[in-house]
Amino acid sequence: MDDAVRAYVEAIAPEHRPLFDRVHRLVLDGYPDAEVVMSYQMPTYKVGRRRLFVAAWKHGISVYGWAQGAEAGFVARHPELKTSKGTIRLRPADAAGITDDELRELVHAALRSA
């Protein structure tokens, strides 16, 4: 993790940091060689040509990075969490009801090879 990403993560509001850390851990568990860089002013996980963007906002965490409809059925199971094309908005309370397996599938949908 480079210094810019580290600074971003350290600045995440304390109430959202555990959720960010959870997503970060799940990404790196599945993709230990993922490069973590800043892109579009947010932490970005790069695996080959694939990207997963994870940003902290006032509501919690937003996750971006897959083609619409390619989010492993996550939006079908949690339609209230989709905010715009390709964006999942996770508030800590929402994420408490989502298993790590579901989040792993979401990460895999963004980072698996085409």
What DSSP string runs through 21-55? Answer: HHHHHHHHHH-TT-EEEEETTEEEEEETTEEEEEE
pLDDT attached to residue 69? 63
pLDDT attached to residue 113? 63
Range of the domain at 85: 3-111
Q: Residue written as tokens 């940003």? A: 55
Low-confidence ranges of the chain (pLDDT < 70): 67-72, 84-86, 113-114
pLDDT attached to residue 54? 96
- Domain count within the chain: 1
pLDDT in tens, 63-89: 988 766 666 678 778 877 877 666 888
What CATH number should be reported for the domain holding residue 96? 3.90.1150.200
pLDDT attached to residue 72? 65
